[in-house]
């Protein structure tokens, strides 16, 4: 098991959440890594990458899709 999968299960266990609700599929994982890269490179501040991922997670948790979030980030970065 890779680090992020192990951490996902540990977070789920520690918070009483169902781990299957937290597991990232390969497509979502790649999208998040792409968006984190955009945040770090276009802003000039690497700390924006994890902060953006937190914002995206909150948005998705409230019903947004990863695709809509990705479009917003790409559009803002001038890549849309």
The pLDDT value recorded for residue 1 is 80
Q: Report d(CA 38, CA 49) in Å as an integer.
A: 8
CA distances for 64 relative to 6, 7, 24, 30, 61, angstroms: 26, 24, 16, 18, 7
* Rounded mean pLDDT, 4-11: 96
Encode pLDDT of 9-58 as tens digits.
999 999 999 999 999 999 999 999 999 999 999 999 999 999 999 999 99
DSSP states of 8-49: HHHHHHHHT--GGGTPPPHHHHHHHHHHHHHHHHHHS-TTHH
Cβ proximity of 36 and 52 under 8 Å? yes
The torsion angles phi and psi of 49, rounded to 5 degrees, stand at -65, -55
Q: What is the pTM of this model?
A: 0.88
Note the pLDDT of residue 79: 80
Domain boundaries, the chain: 23-80
């Amino acid at each position: 098991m890779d680090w992020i999968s192990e951490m996902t299960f540990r977070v789920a266990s520690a918070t009483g959440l169902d781990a299957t609700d937290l597991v990232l599929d390969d497509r979502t994982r790649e999208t998040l890594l792409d968006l984190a890269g955009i945040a770090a490179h276009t802003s000039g501040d690497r700390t924006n990458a994890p902060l953006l991922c937190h914002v995206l997670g909150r948005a998705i948790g409230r019903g947004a899709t990863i695709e809509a979030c990705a479009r917003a980030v790409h559009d803002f970065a001038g890549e849309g």
